Chains A and B, each alone.
Chain A
Amino acid sequence: MALRFDENDVKKLEEIRAKYPNNQACTLPFLHYAQDKFGYVSMDVIKLVAQTLNLPVAHVLSVATFYTMYNKKPVGKYHLQVCTNISCSLLGARRLVDKLQELLGIKPGETTEDGMFTLTEVECLGSCGTAPVIQVNDKYFENLDEKKVEELIESLRKGELDV
């Protein structure tokens, strides 16, 4: 089925368009919007954004692939992004990754079979003073240790956390 933006989307996208002098500048914000709506940036999403902005598909594809925040594959309901850059690693980020692998039975880059969790290792999240840090969807969880990670996963499984 072909993807489309509905009336409400069109209104929101027009608001974004008004911030910029041309269509091309909307590529990143439109991709963000589309990812929020459709869950990830598939080839169909890329085509839709290109069509909406009247830009070549190749252009939108080059942008979607350059930036790490655009998920080119489906991700789980909860995308666990563990910072393993220096400040987080100095305070045990590796142990958090190990703990998560054990709890979820997946390796970094994988998604659990039930589609609940995706585990990713990421670069510095700009939160090094409250290291180690995990970003879950749009939220930061800071000052973590193995015990807190266990609790975090439990709350997510129970659907107790709004992220």
Chain B
Amino acid sequence: MSEIVLFKHLIDPEVRNIENYIKLGGYEGLKKAFTMQPDDIIEEVKRSNLRGRGGAGFPTGLKWSFMPKGEGQKYFVCNADEGEPGTFKDRYIMSENPHQLIEGMVIGGYAMGATVGYIYIRGEFEFVAKILQKAIDEAYEKGFLGKNILNSGFDFDLYVHLGAGAYVCGEETGLINSLEGKPGQPRLKPPFPAQYGVFGKPTTVNNVETIACVPDIIKKGADWFLSIGPEKNNGTKIYAVSGHVNNPGVFELPMGTPLREIIYEHAGGIVGGKKLKAVIPGGSSAPVLGPEHLDIPMDFDSLKKVGSMLGSGAIIVMSEDTCMVEAFTRLAKFYAHESCGQCTPCREGTAWLYKILKRIEDREGKKGDIDLILDICGKIMGRTICPLGDAAVMCIKPAVERFRDEFEYHIEHKKCMVENKIPIF
């Protein structure tokens, strides 16, 4: 079995309880952090090559270094919005091993000089938020949160904030607006949050999984983290596998584990021994791949090379019994529903993509519809405030290109190529 960093509940199922977390070496990273200078902590995180697990893979240490030095209120915000279809990993860190996230928040706060932290968790996860709140209360009791933590002179308060159902609030500037009590519409970047973040103050936003990696990096050192996974893509990764597999679930594995191993060994292979038709490797916004990509190492750089992305590491598996028209029409509906409406190309474009795809799915497609879809995609890409519009294109365009024959068959023959499918609409 490979190294366990984030899923310590696999070693001790009761690790969510603070006593057990401490027994497994928990809060040692924080103790060590207080013996270091804040800048040295940022340096250590930089050296570890930890990259953002929220999807974009931005180097975490570098992002922390953008925070201004000195006095003045600063904030450290954890992104627990987990809304990308196919993604269900942060949920388990928070419900099974919450103290590792809390410890990472305090270390990050100390390193960046932020004295207040918020965990922005999607509203539907209220049951997870309750577990998290209990862990936070325990940490306050034991003196890992609050005033003068472990006699270090550093104060840090941590609050849980519930979202209210809007995918776009996972985008960090949408999240910031939402945390400020406004509709969660994204802001233009720059300025980046480190310059102008929540309540107008310098802010860093990181994903749950990213932050939960930090305690062990500090405790065991960057070299240990560098020893796991391929160059520039270090550490472990939680892959969340769903769809047509025998054993769906979350698997913590070294970054760069081949897709084939994840699907066929850990997730138990395709249901009914069917053939693999399509796999989305990084949440719905990652360009779809086919069976010829099974030997790809699942890391940021390798997926980029084949024109897709690691994103949130959510692997959605579709067998030969899936109609691509139906599957991607459903995803187009999602993006159209979640567009916040600020940018015309995204608001109108996602609505049109869904409308045209739905008529193809309804056997009412017209000649030229496929080119029309590709044309609309070109008009959205790169012309919006946040990447939600781009995400819709990265989902739909590669699917239409790769499976063009299926879409054409629907239009020409007014029927579906796939028999024995489970209906989506």
Interface residues of A (CB under 8 A from B): 19-22, 24-29, 31-32, 59, 62-63, 66-70, 84-87, 89-95, 123-131, 135, 138-140
Contacts and interface: CB of A to CB of B under 8 A. Distances in A.
Interface string B327-353: 100110010011000000000000000
15 contacts: A21-B199, A26-B181, A32-B164, A59-B182, A85-B85, A90-B244, A91-B244, A94-B422, A123-B85, A123-B334, A124-B84, A126-B88, A127-B88, A128-B316, A129-B240
Contacts of B87: 124, 126, 128
A73 to B, nearest CB: 15
Given A25-B181, A94-B424, A125-B124, A86 B330 contact: yes
Interface in B159-197: 159, 161-167, 178-185
Nearest to B124: A125
Interface string B110-127: 000000000000111111
B230 interface: no
Interface in B60-105: 73, 82-88, 90-91
B331 A86 contact: yes
Given A67-B165, A86-B331, A139-B127, A128 B423 contact: no
Given A25-B199, A28-B163, A63-B182, A126 B124 contact: yes
Given A126-B87, A129-B240, A131-B248, A29 B161 contact: yes
Contacts of A92: 422
Contact of B164 (A70, A84, A138): A70
A131 B330 contact: no
Interface residues of B, number: 56
Nearest to A98: B423
Contact of B422 (A24, A25, A31, A95): A95
A9 B127 CA distance: 21
Contacts of A87: 85-86, 242-243, 316
Contacts of B84: 124
Contacts of A68: 164-166
B402 to A, nearest CB: 16
Given A85-B330, A94-B425, A140-B127, A126 B179 contact: no
Contacts of A85: 85, 284, 330-331, 334
Given A63-B181, A129-B88, A90 B243 contact: yes
Q: Which 5 A-B pairs have the closest CB atoms?
A: A67-B164, A69-B165, A27-B181, A66-B183, A68-B165
Nearest to A87: B242
A123 B337 contact: yes
B249 interface: yes
A129 B241 contact: yes
A22 B201 CA distance: 13
Nearest to B184: A66
Given A123-B334, A126-B122, A129-B88, A86 B165 contact: no
A140 B128 CA distance: 11
A129 B92 CA distance: 11
B234 interface: no
Contact of A91 (B182, B284, B330, B422): B422
Given A67-B164, A89-B330, A128-B316, 11 more contacts: A22-B199, A26-B181, A28-B181, A70-B165, A84-B330, A90-B316, A123-B337, A128-B242, A128-B314, A129-B242, A138-B126
A19 to B, nearest CB: 4
B46 to A, nearest CB: 30
Given A22-B199, A129-B250, A29 B162 contact: yes
A100 B254 CA distance: 42
Contacts of B124: 69, 125-126, 135
Nearest to B271: A91
Contact of B162 (A26, A28, A131): A28
A118 to B, nearest CB: 15
Interface string B294-330: 0000000000000000000010101000100001001
A68 B166 CA distance: 7
Q: Which of B122, B164, B243, B337 has the most CB of A within 10 A?
A: B164
B123 A128 contact: no
Given A68-B164, A69-B165, A86 B316 contact: yes
Q: Which of A70, A90, A95 has the most CB of B within 10 A?
A: A90
